[in-house]
Amino acid sequence: MSKKVILSGIQSTGNLTLGNYLGAIKNWEKMQEEYDCNYMIANLHTLTIRNNPETLRENTLNLLALYIAAGIDPKKSNIFIQSQVAAHAELAWVLNCYTYMGELSRMTQFKDKSAKHADNINSGLFTYPVLMAADILLYQADLVPVGEDQRQHLEITRDIAERFNNIYGETFKIPEGYIPKLAARVMGLQDPTSKMSKSSTIENDSIFLNDEPDIILKKFKKAVTDSENVVKYDEKNKAGISNLMCIYGSITNKTNEEIEKEFEGKGYGDFKIAVAESVIEELKPLQEKYKELKENPDYLEKIYIDGAKKAHSIAHKTLEDVYKKIGMVWY
């Protein structure tokens, strides 16, 4: 019996955060034992904002190294760079012609990003969900790991696929959302009402995977809490402490009740240090492996070349089927 196919990816903008790790990559490592996994470095998606070319190239290779350092095994999963597989851009153009302006105008992420980048509201930002749909549908993905902020993108992907299938017959597999049981929703340390972000401009808000131990400790010590000084989970009234509990529980596998009992009678200072130490210990092997990989660029090059070849062979079959069905002359 063949394994179900998973497609997921992260944009190669900036350094990965603890939120990216606990909310996505840590679970990807477990998924590769059960599923046929394709993990993409989504560098085409980064073009909706202005990037320094050298920085973008460096970020792309850094992300590749972080994937592997975090436990994604190139022998078990296919890791590839999106821009090296031309079918992504080709299918995106075709699907643009089967996607309605009204659908795209309702996407909340377009509204949010337009507000943040008011000086650069480009058409790529508007059609971003269509490229994401192409990413997913090219690999005939059964499952797509999604957070709450990505549900809308998955829904429009399903709508586009169903529309195309209704016109031309069975072409695309209709993907389902997949939410790992242990996926953590990590919020900012200074703004615990918003997700921890690679692009946050708030000082000490995000823990980056390459942060040194003393930096991690400093950031956690400065994390926003409340005046109650009681370690108790209450997302509405104690967002900061609840977020720290989420982080600590994700690493130690302890429940909120166990954490509350462990820190009963102790103040926030002790708790913050404990959370920081757990994160430092969790990231230590990842950081050591990352440094090793960065010193071996030839190995990284082999991984992304092999990954591109495998991704191309899968994606090309889907694209050929699409082109033939819509009347393109194929060779």
198 a catalytic residue:
yes
pLDDT of residue 110: 64
pTM as predicted: 0.89
Residue 298 corresponds to which tokens in the numbers above? 């030839």
List of E strands, 147-205:
176-178
pLDDT of residue 65: 95
d(CA 179, CA 243): 19
Q: 3-class DSSP state for residue 109?
A: helix
Question: Which residue from 330, 322, 307 is spatially nearest to 84, judged by alpha carbons?
Answer: 307
195 a catalytic residue:
yes
Question: Which residue from 3, 2, 1, 6 is spatially nearest to 175, judged by alpha carbons?
Answer: 6
Determine the topology of domain 213-291 in CATH: Tyrosyl-Transfer RNA Synthetase (1.10.240)
In sequence order, what are the beta bridge partners of 38? 7, 78
CA angle 201, 219, 274 (to 5 degrees): 145
- pLDDT string in tens for the chain (331-residue length): 689 999 999 988 878 899 989 988 888 888 998 999 999 999 999 888 788 899 999 999 999 999 999 999 999 999 999 999 999 999 999 999 999 988 888 877 766 666 666 676 778 778 899 999 999 999 999 999 877 667 888 999 999 999 999 999 999 999 999 877 666 789 999 999 888 988 778 889 999 999 999 999 999 999 999 988 899 999 889 999 999 999 999 999 999 999 999 999 898 999 999 999 999 999 999 999 999 999 999 999 999 999 999 999 999 999 999 999 999 997 7
Catalytic hit among 195, 219, 238, 272: 195
Residues 6+ apart with CB under 8 A from 13: 46, 49, 51, 56, 59, 198, 199
Residues forming CATH 3.40.50.620 domain(s) in the chain: 5-179+297-326
Q: What CATH code would you report for 5-179+297-326?
A: 3.40.50.620
pLDDT of residue 183: 61
Name residue, tokens 């996505």: 24
Helix (H) or strand (E) holding 22: none
d(CA 101, CA 95): 12
Residues forming CATH 1.10.240.10 domain(s) in the chain: 213-291
pLDDT of residue 121: 75
pLDDT of residue 115: 62
113 a catalytic residue:
yes
Catalytic hit among 4, 76, 173, 198: 198
C-alpha distance from residue 235 to each of 22, 90, 150, 299, 317 (Å): 18, 44, 22, 44, 47
Question: Which residue from 145, 239, 260 is spatially nearest to 190, judged by alpha carbons?
Answer: 239
